[in-house]
Amino acid sequence: MQVTRILSIALCAFGLITIQACKKDADVHTGADTTMSTTGNRIDSAASSVGSEVASESIEKKVESKLVVEPGFAGVHVESTPEGMIILTGTATENEKARAQVIAQNTDGVKGVTNNITVTK
């Protein structure tokens, strides 16, 4: 009778130890999954950021290439933001300023234009 009781206690203790070991193993895997998920999100974010910068530069070059073939835009400078916004600066006549605005707005990929060109006579 005493032996049966000791074996029962030992078996219960072994079962509890096994359950705790499995739980800890599951926690380790869950932590690894969370770390991998976080790392994946950071990689996706970095790739998106690089993609936005490349797209921004591409849009900027498109606007610049359209302005360079037009007369009177030598004093106009083009910048872009990662959101697809174009910023026009420099100097031009009133008509050239308005024309630069239209050219920039009608360029594929441009989301908006801030026209900071200073008007000269």
- What CATH code is carried by the domain that includes residue 96? 3.30.1340.30
Tell me: pLDDT of 75 over 70.
Answer: yes
Q: Which domain holds residue 76?
A: 2-119
Decide: 113 and 88 in contact? Cβ < 8 Å: yes
Using one digit for the tens of pLDDT, what is the confidence trace for 5-52? 676 676 666 666 767 666 665 555 555 566 556 656 665 555 455 455
Query: Which of 119, 116, 91 shows the shortest CA–CA distance to 101?
Result: 116
3-state secondary structure of 63: helix
Instruction: Please tell me the total count of domains within the chain.
Output: 1
Contacts of 81 (CB under 8 A, 6+ apart): 56, 87
* pTM for the predicted model, two decimal places: 0.56
Tell me: pLDDT of 86 over 80.
Answer: yes
pLDDT at 71: 85
| Sequence letter at residue 18 | T
